[in-house]
Chains A and B, each alone.
Chain A
Amino acid sequence: MKLKFLLFVFLAGAQLQAQEYFPKNDGVKTTKTGTTVFKNARIHVNPTTIIDNGMFAIKDGKISAVGKNISVPANSQTIDLKGKEVYPSFIDLYSEFGVEKPKAAGNGNGQPQYDASREGYYWNDHIRPDNDPLSAFSFDKDKAGKLHKAGFGVVNTHLADGIIRGNGMLIALNPDGSDGDRILKQRSAQYLSFDKSATSRQSYPTSKMGAMALIRQAYLDAEWYAKGKAENKDLALEALNRNKNLLQIFATDNLLDELRADKIGDEFGIQYTILGSGFEYENLDEIKESDATYIVPLEFPDAYDVEDPFMASKVSLHDMKRWNQAPANLKMLAENNVPFTLTTEGIDAEKDFRKNLLKAVEYGLSQEDALAALTTVPAGLLGEENNLGTIKEGAWANFIITSGDFFDKETTLYENWVQGKRSVLENMNVTNIKGDYDLAVDGNSYEVKITGEPAKPKAEVKMGETKIGSKLSFVDNWMNLLLSSPDTTKTEFIRLVANVPSETDKISGKAILANGNETSFTATKKDTEATSEEKKDEAKETPEVKPVSFPNNAYGFTEKPKQEDILFTNATVWTNEEEGILENTDVLVKNGKISRIGQNLNAGGAKVVDATGKHLTSGIIDEHTHIAASAINEAGHNSSAEVSMEDVVDPTDINIYRNLAGGVTTAQLLHGSANPIGGRSAILRLKWGESAEDIIFEDSPKFIKFALGENVKQSNWGSRSRFPQSRMGVEQVFTDYFTRAREYEQNKKNDKDYRKDLEMETIVEILNMDRYVSAHSYVQSEINMLMKVAENFDFNINTFTHILEGYKLADKMKEHGAGGSTFSDWWAYKYEVNDAIPFNAPIMHSQGITVAINSDDAEMSRRLNQEAAKSVKYGGVSEEDAWKFVTLNPAKLLHIDDKVGSIKTGKDADLVLWSDHPLSVYAKPEKTLIQGTVYFDIERDEELRERISEERNELITQMLKAKNNGVKTQPVTKKEEQHIHCDFLEEIH
């Protein structure tokens, strides 16, 4: 069959039809004038309209008529499609068809490349809106063949390279024409992604937030360029402006990125169509809110091979659940009215597309929605609703012919027509020889039972009760049946051959006996209707889909916890206010706020929690964390003020839950320390189960990370080419950027057509004290330097973080007005912390500096109470003050102490109930609340553990069953948990 198909393609190629006005030198010109009429078909005009027993006609590659009864022109051929169905062929919006990916740039000299390689284009090589796939396009017959088999007729292809990737091209998979026919639209869409171009080694951006900032800047620059303000030619920006009105398709590969892409779109009034991950169901609310259409890859995770229990123990519940849930993704999207289309991206279109589509239908996706996703939805997005994805007059003659309902597993796809050109997938004129026959040969009678698909029938032969060995083939309606001798001691065969051009009750032909003699045979069909009932109606179990939890990981909540009114009675209350530590005190939480503090308070309707013998404190605030992030460092430039950690928050990080279990309620997610001017911070409330947007502290003050010392001069990284390489250079970086920012501000005031620069905008905010600085710093010289530079520019440094030599210049810090957020006792890990001492916090505190103790580490952050207690040991700080180091003081440093950081009437009910004195090594949190919602509860944790163990067990059983049933499995893998500190450079997902 395959061979024949290839042959067909070959012949078609040889007879390539030339365009009408092209000269012809290999013969005489013949102009095709005819119409082809199809009759007796069940026509799926569109997903909701079906014409039974209908007709349609095609002419010049388009549909010329369709209906119950159409007039048949005289010069037409007719094809009878009795018993067959016709669907519009499918459209793949996200394709790389026929466009080869460019080769990767070499390794260069081993040093990072900071400048662009291209001249006459944008300053960043990864912005390539000028990419046009046309020059790289070559029709890929093999791939087209595979797509035909999957039912596709049109693909929107592009050059998948770069962050802004240039225009796409709409291609009809015409097997028989030239590219002149196939190119339906040369500029059909513009593609974007977060991935850099392979062709360039230019460093920036090294991170996702860098890529996001770069896209924003490119949009702004394009707008500015359009005003004719640039002195240079920029072909990339010109292309970007040219592509503005095209369909914008954003390629992502995970759920968080899908939402990130949409966020950028919202900022610029662009609604992207988003290539998704197939896991959209994990956050339907936000997917819905995005208003985007999703291009969903029809790819489901394979089951894990969990036979070995040790291996099985390494697969996370999350990965197992995804295997169980992902096939229901499309159903859930449809139920929530999220528009989507489907792509073969990432899968073998021929082998897996239809199989997976049927699986999605089995999991509840309606056939109408499935068809729409493959036809009318993509056609509509492309503005081609009248030309593609439907069988109606004037549309392209792109359709498939099937043996029956496309969604029936047994159905065969016979032909795929594109632009009126036929691609034969299976011979549709195969005679159906299924049935039970009485066979008479050479005086013997046999019973023959023929089953299976018409094109691939199977035979079972018996003589009386004895089974006879047999082999049946049926090619081009010629039947060959080989029978072995009933005498099993002999290896002798009888060969039967017959031509069966049409369905018949009597097959007769020639038999060649074992001895070589020829005779004739007849097989007479028995009149047994019932025997055709081969397929047992496998009692179809609707697959059991595990409920989605928030987040969909272990310890996620099946139902998001709600705000509660709670009365804590008889606690030892650490107010962090003038009242100090109150014994035997009640605290009433109402509407997310601390409503009353006192004795014998009336619960009203509030839930009462007996806190006798326990301690109630405000939640711990970590001034310096890197949990809950998908990226940490944008290391491509020495200033990255344009990037924001708010762009890369990962609310599904298990460390959020673990931090809650350590009493942490708020944390500042800082950029890493790769650059003197780092990125903007995200202040987070650790609301486990909520979305990235919703865990960002509401109206939080703006912050940015600065960094000094070994990391910014890259002492420990082997790179030698980036300025600065010394502390002397670090000062100049700051002075330079601050000077330019002042000039920028001036220019902005004077020129209404100024070039908006996101980096400079941020630095101006810093200079004007609209954005606070948290500066990663170790040794006294650099700390002193930064304060002097800031003073020269009339602002101050809000917080020095790490600040391990703060004790050496606490007086100067005090004078400057800086706070210090430090480690309790870290040192000796690099040269610049040689003089770090655990007495640092106590000395700074003694000099009147607002001191916090931070973690910079997912492990330490979950026991910051212990770290605070070390200030009692080293340096004799009072317990009350030590406690403020991890609560009220970081709240002050973050300028959120009006809301959190102490137990005071009217403040947010961010509370921790401790089993013991909170500074004691023996204390553990029992409940952690944020704004009156209990996000960690030690008793609920027990229940979650049980549920995890049950769910794991159930899913493992399901996977074992699946493997037993022959389902493909994948070897166990486990996502590596990475502990991130400031120095972390690699991107994580």
Chain B
Amino acid sequence: MRITYIFIFVFICSLGTGLAQQTPAPKQNNTISIVGATAHIGNGQVIENSILTFEEGKITAIGASGDVDPSGEIINAEGKHLYPGFIAANATLGLVEISAVRATDDEDEIGTMLPHIRSLIAYNAESKLIESMRPNGVLMGQIVPRGGRISGTSSIMQFDAWNWEDAVVKEDDALHINWPGSFSRGRWWAGEDPGIKPNEEYQQHLRGLTEFFNSSRAYLGGDRKIKNLPYLAMESVFDGDKKVFVHVDGEREIQDVIQFKKDQNLDELVIVGGYEAHKISDQLKENNISVLVTRAHSTPDNEDDDYDLPYKLAKLLHNEGVLVGLQSSGSMERMNTRNLPFYAGTTVAYGMDKEEALSLITSNVAKILGIDEFAGSLEEGKDATLFISEGDALDMRGNILDKAFIQGRELSLKSHQTELYERYKEKYESQSE
């Protein structure tokens, strides 16, 4: 016990003495025009030699040079590329700082049905991980709690803020369900075969979920004299204000999700993972279900699967007319979230069109998250959350950011990491003098 305390103490001290976080940028107070860049709109369109103007945080004009006149401060971006900020769906940034240090872990609450658990308030706007997203163009994210059958309620945050209240762009956007699996893993520590076998409790878990939804409805229809927090948190789900995100992979389970959507009359439902979603893409399309696919950079689930299945899954669904986005959950997910653009790039190597691949992390995700009114593409009226890159931002060699803006505010592209870089570069330069 004492050792633990000492450890925490030392750890907190070291955080305190570490390098300070980047200061959030002030509100945009002058008009800015970015001129000459190849603008990747995020909806499949490209405008060469573009002009994009934004004022008070909103895009006021976008078009080809000649069609639009620049105004205000001019940023010359000739030969460069302009992108809408990438959106990290289903992320846990700000909820955990260092995976192995339990004291820094706030992503997983105990209990089963936790719709009242909100990621928003635990979100650490000053996380060193979050600032490391920005130099790669990842400027917003949906922050999702992970525990339980219903893991809780997510919110969508932008990545340049003093605190969570500043950061939030959409509060309590979605409810997250970890769908039970029809297969379960053997508990090797209890001497069982660690392989996968049919889950005999699957139906029971499904009933539990249905019962919880039904009980919530019944409760909300009553006088509510006694306050039941989990049931109250379901109200916005039934009102349609909160979307339902179901984390599920298997074909059979997805079929059950579709039935659940029908049974529960849910308008908007998103599948997260969807490893076998391509096997029933027609049904997904028919039922207006979109998919945030399994991380492109992952290994296939089964020995017999195509080696490139994770690479091409988005493409397989996209071809069938399903609305698809990418996400980065999985092992080491937080630090890996900055590789989101390269997940999109990888889908191109395995069949996706480049601009459509871009939409997998911009406009499609904005639609899936329900923030497409103000985010996800370089269109008039939307937030000026965008960046200029030296080259192709989906390729590691081109993803070199010049400038980035969130709601028109030009943010720092420095981080704990770039500062260490500068510091040691200087050390060696001074040695060689």
On A, residues with C-beta under 8 Å from B are 310-311, 313-314, 316-318, 553-554, 654-655, 657-658, 661, 710, 715-716, 807-808, 810-811, 825-831, 834-835, 837-839, 843, 846-847, 858-860, 862-863, 866, 869-870, 872-873, 875, 879, 915-916, 919-924, 941, 945, 948, 952, 971-979, 986
Contact of B428 among A313, A846, A869 (CB under 8 A): A846
| Size range of the chain B interface in the assembly | 35 or more
Contact between B308 and A318, CB atoms less than 8 A apart: no
Closest 8 CB pairs of A and B: A921-B345, A830-B100, A869-B396, A310-B252, A839-B421, A974-B196, A554-B304, A837-B417
Interface residues of B in 184-224 (CB under 8 A from A): 185-186, 188, 193-198
The reply to whether A921 and B349 form a contact with Cβ atoms under 8 Å apart is yes
Tell me the minimal C-beta distance from A748 to chain B in angstroms.
42
Interface centre among B196, B304, B348 (most CB of A within 10 A): B304
The answer to whether B397 touches A919, judged by C-beta atoms less than 8 angstroms apart, is: yes
| Chain B residues with CB below 8 A from A710, complex form | 100
Residue of B nearest to A839 (CB): B421
- CA distance in complex: A574, B349 (Å): 20
B30 → A minimal CB distance (Å): 31
> Is B22's beta carbon under 8 Å from chain A?
no
A814 to chain B, nearest CB (A): 10
Q: Which of B36-44, B74-82, B158-166, B293-301 contacts its partner?
A: B293-301
Is A875 within 8 A of B98, CB to CB?
no
A810-B428, A915-B349, A920-B397 known; 4 other A-B pairs, CB under 8 Å? A316-B304, A976-B185, A976-B196, A986-B188
Q: In the complex, A945 Cα to B332 Cα: how many Å?
A: 31
* Best-buried of B193, B195, B299 by chain A (most CB within 10 Å): B299
Shortest CB distance B32–A (Å): 26
A866 touches B428 (CB 8 A): no
**Which A residues lie within 8 Å of B268 (CB)?**
none
Q: Which of B138-146, B313-321, B334-342, B373-381 contacts A (4 or more CB under 8 A)?
A: B334-342
Please determine whether A977 and B303 come into contact, CB atoms closer than 8 angstroms.
yes
CB-defined contacts of A986 to chain B, threshold 8 Å: 188
- Residues of chain B from 83 to 103 with CB closer than 8 A to chain A in the complex: 97-101
Q: Is B346 an interface residue (CB 8 A)?
A: yes
Q: Are B428 and A847 in contact (CB under 8 A)?
A: yes
Q: Contact between B197 and A829 (Cβ–Cβ < 8 Å)?
A: no
**Cβ contact within 8 Å between A843 and B98:** no
Total residue contacts A-B, CB cutoff 8 A: 163
Shortest C-beta distance, B348 to chain A (Å), equals 5
B307 contacts partner chain A, Cβ-Cβ < 8 Å: yes
A811 to B195, CA, bound (A): 48
For the complex, give the distance between the alpha carbons of A767 and B73 in Å: 65
Query: Whole-angstrom distance between the alpha carbons of A553 and B144 in the complex?
Result: 38
Asked if residues A843 and B425 are in contact (CB atoms below 8 Å), the reply is yes
Question: Which residues 342-359 of B sit at the A interface, judged by CB distance below 8 A?
Answer: 342, 345-346, 348-350
Between A and B, 8 residue pairs with Cβ closer than 8 Å are A314-B196, A316-B303, A830-B98, A843-B425, A843-B428, A873-B397, A975-B303, A976-B196
Judged by a CB distance under 8 angstroms, whether B29 is at the interface is no
B87 to chain A, nearest CB (A): 19
Is the CB of B52 closer than 8 A to any CB of chain A? no
Asked if A879 contacts B194 (CB within 8 A), the reply is no
**How far apart are B256's CB and chain A's nearest CB, in angstroms?**
11
Chain B: which residue is nearest A873 at the CB level?
A: B396
Within 8 Å of chain A (Cβ to Cβ): is B69? no
With an 8 A cutoff between CB atoms, is B302 at the interface?
yes
Chain B neighbourhood of A923, CB < 8 A:
349
> How distant is the Cα of A875 from the Cα of B396 in the complex, in angstroms?
12
Quick one: closest B residue to A949, CB to CB? B304
Complex Cα spacing A657 to B304, Å: 11
From A825, A916, A941, A979, B335 is in contact (CB under 8 Å) with A825
Q: How far is the CB of A981 from chain B (nearest CB, A)?
A: 9
**In the complex the two chains form, is A863's CB within 8 Å of B197's CB?**
no
Q: What residues of chain A lie closer than 8 Å to B185, measured between beta carbons? A: 976
The reply on B260 being an interface residue by CB < 8 A is no
Interface residues of B (CB under 8 A from A): 11, 14, 97-101, 128-129, 182-183, 185-186, 188, 193-198, 250-252, 297-304, 306-308, 331-332, 334-335, 338-339, 342, 345-346, 348-350, 394-397, 399-400, 417-418, 420-421, 424-425, 428, 431
Q: Are A830 and B99 in contact (CB under 8 A)?
A: yes
Rounded to whole angstroms, the CA-CA distance of A858 and B418 in the bound complex is: 28
For the complex, give the distance between the alpha carbons of A75 and B36 in Å.
119
State in angstroms the CA–CA spacing of A316 and B305 once bound together. 9
Is A977 in contact with B428, judged by CB distance below 8 angstroms? no
A839 to B97, CA, bound (A): 20
Q: A919–B185 Cα gap in the complex (Å)?
A: 38
Contact for B332 among A657, A829, A977, CB less than 8 A:
A829
Instruction: Contact check, B335 vs A826: say whether CB atoms are below 8 A apart.
Output: yes
**Cβ-closest chain A residue relative to B279:** A313
Q: Closest Cβ of chain B: how far from A902's Cβ, in Å?
A: 22
Q: Is the CB of A863 within 8 A of B417?
A: no
A866 CB to nearest chain B CB (Å) = 6
- Please determine whether B400 and A828 come into contact, CB atoms closer than 8 angstroms: no
Least Cβ–Cβ distance between B136 and chain A, in angstroms: 8
| C-alpha spacing A810/B129, complex, angstroms | 25
Pair B348/A921 contact, Cβ less than 8 Å: yes
Select from chain A the residue with minimum beta-carbon distance to B422.
A839
Determine the residue in chain B with the shortest Cβ distance to A919. B397
Question: Known contacts A807-B424, A827-B335, A922-B348; is A973 also within 8 Å of B197 by CB?
Answer: yes
List, in ascending order, chain A residues with CB within 8 A of B332's CB: 826, 828-829
Q: Which residues of A contact B421 (CB under 8 A)?
A: 807, 837, 839, 843, 875
A834 neighbours in B (Cβ, 8 Å): 14, 98
Distance (whole angstroms) from the CB of A531 to the closest CB of chain B: 49
A-side contacts of B197, CB under 8 Å: 971-974
Interfacial chain B residues near A976, Cβ < 8 Å: 185-186, 194-196
Contact A829 B100 (CB under 8 A): yes
Closest chain B residue to A869 by CB distance? B396
Which residues of chain A are near B346, meaning CB under 8 Å? Answer: 863, 866, 921
Which of B300, B303, B350 contacts A318 (CB under 8 A)? B303
Give bound CA distance, A832 to B334, whole Å.
Answer: 16
CB contact under 8 A between A811 and B335, given known A318-B303, A869-B397, A920-B397: no
Contacts of A977 in B (CB 8 A): 299, 301-303
Q: Tell which of A317, A866, A978 touches B304, judged by Cβ atoms closer than 8 Å.
A: A317
Known contacts being A658-B299, A859-B298, is A973 close to B397, with CB within 8 Å? Answer: no
Task: Kindly provide the distance from the CB of B298 to the nearest chain A CB, expressed in whole angstroms.
Answer: 6
Query: Which residue of chain A has its CB nearest to the CB of B250?
Result: A310
Question: Which residues of the partner chain B approach A978 to less than 8 Å between Cβ atoms?
Answer: 194
User: Nearest Cβ distance between residue B333 and chain A, in whole angstroms?
Assistant: 10
In the assembled complex, which residues on chain B have CB atoms less than 8 Å from the CB atom of A831? 11, 98, 100-101
Q: Please tell me if the beta carbons of B431 and A811 are within 8 angstroms of each other in the complex.
A: yes
A567 to chain B, nearest CB (A): 26
B251 to chain A: which residues have CB within 8 Å?
A: 310, 313
Bound Cα distance A915, B308 (Å): 15
Known: A973-B193, A974-B302. A866 touches B100 (CB 8 A): no
Query: In the complex, what distance in Å separates the CA atom of A715 from the CA atom of B182?
Result: 36
- The answer to whether A828 and B98 have CB atoms under 8 Å apart is yes
Contact: A843 with B424, CB < 8 Å? yes
Q: Is the CB of B306 within 8 A of A945?
A: yes
Contacts of A657 in B (CB 8 A): 307
Contacts of A945 in B (CB 8 A): 306
Cβ contacts under 8 Å, A830 to chain B = 98-101
Assembly CA distance A415 to B346 (angstroms):
70
Q: In the bound complex, do residue B299 and residue A859 qualify as a contact, i.e. CB atoms below 8 Å apart?
A: yes
Q: Establish whether residues A973 and B196, one from each chain, have CB atoms under 8 Å apart when the complex forms.
A: yes
CA distance A335 to B182 in the complex (A): 44
Residues of A within 8 A of B399 (CB): 873
Given contacts A826-B332, A922-B395, contact A972 B198 (CB under 8 A): yes
Please determine whether B196 and A922 come into contact, CB atoms closer than 8 angstroms.
Answer: no
Which of B250, B298, B396 contacts A866 (CB under 8 A)?
Answer: B396
Are A825's CB and B339's CB within 8 A?
Answer: yes
Residues of A within 8 A of B299 (CB): 655, 658, 858-859, 862, 977, 979
Q: How far is the CA of A810 from the CA of B428 in the complex (A)?
A: 9
